[in-house]
Amino acid sequence: MSRIGKLPIALPKGITVKAVDGVVSVEGPKGKLVQNYRPEVEIAVSADQVVVTRKEDTKEGRSFHGLYRQLINNMIVGVSTGFTRKLQINGVGYRAEVKGKLLVLNLGYSTQIEFMIPSDVQIVCENPSTVVVSGVSKQRVGQISAEIRSLRAPEPYKGKGIKYDTEVIRRKVGKSGGKK
């Protein structure tokens, strides 16, 4: 039995979950999310909890059991509280600002980088060196954060670039560090 899959998901107040014809939809105060699911699993929705079970004890059934339980849990958390990801920008002259539907980044290149903000994600600059990505879908918030980070990934010598706020950059010693 899957250790994660066998756990029931508690439904907070104001969240509605429907599982019909291979599609589970979760609706709450922050929005609505829809996810397809495989026929190897069954989703039972009651008034206060959601239980995911597998139909057969096959390799695919076991692997999808915990996956869909966690995906539904992430959907419920997303429509009730949402997800956020903070990015730190390090470097002299490196900064970010939001102009309408664009995130404008100065990252040491000869031109500014203009990143289109998708409609399902909110991006806020708390200060010129901090970007906060928030939204309902954990996957979309993580994907947009990774795309922004890839515009100038942190380098190991001076730590310049865009990094997650929880990320630790392993620093390398420069050329003169190895001489005696």
What is this structure's pTM? 0.89
Domain membership flag for residue 27: yes
Instruction: Give the burial class of 150: count Cβ atoms within 10 A of its Cβ; 0-12 exposed, 13-18 middle, 19 or more buried.
Output: exposed
Q: Count the domains in the chain.
A: 2
In this predicted structure, what is the pLDDT of residue 60? Answer: 87
Whether the per-residue pLDDT at 1 is higher than 90: the answer is no
Nearest to 123 by CA among 148, 154, 106: 148
Domain membership of residue 3 (yes or no) is: no
Question: Looking at the structure, do residues 92 and 119 belong to the same domain, yes or no?
Answer: yes
97 and 150 inside one domain? yes
What's the pLDDT score for residue 160? 95
Residue 27 confidence class, pLDDT cut points 50, 70, 90: very high
171 contacts: CB under 8 Å, gap ≥ 6: 156, 157, 159
> Each residue of 38-97: pLDDT tens digit?
999 999 999 899 999 999 888 988 889 999 999 999 999 999 999 999 999 999 999 999
User: What is the structure's pLDDT at 102?
Assistant: 96
90 and 152 together in one domain? yes
- Could you tell me if residue 170 is inside a domain? no
Residue 136 lies in a domain: yes
Angle, CA 98 vertex, CA 95 and CA 99 arms, to 5°: 125
Tell me, yes or no, whether 31 and 96 share the same domain.
no
Digit-coded pLDDT (tens) for 124-176: 999 999 999 999 999 999 999 999 999 999 999 999 999 999 999 999 988 87
What are the tokens at 109?
Answer: 């290149």
CA quadruple 60, 61, 65, 66: dihedral sign: negative
Number of helical (H) and strand (E) elements in the chain, helices listed first? 2, 13
pLDDT score, position 175: 83
Predicted confidence band of residue 4 (pLDDT cuts 50, 70, 90):
confident
pLDDT at 3: 84
Residues 138 and 107 in one domain: yes
For residue 132, give both structure tokens.
């906060």
Q: Indicate the pLDDT class of residue 177, thresholds 50, 70 and 90.
A: low
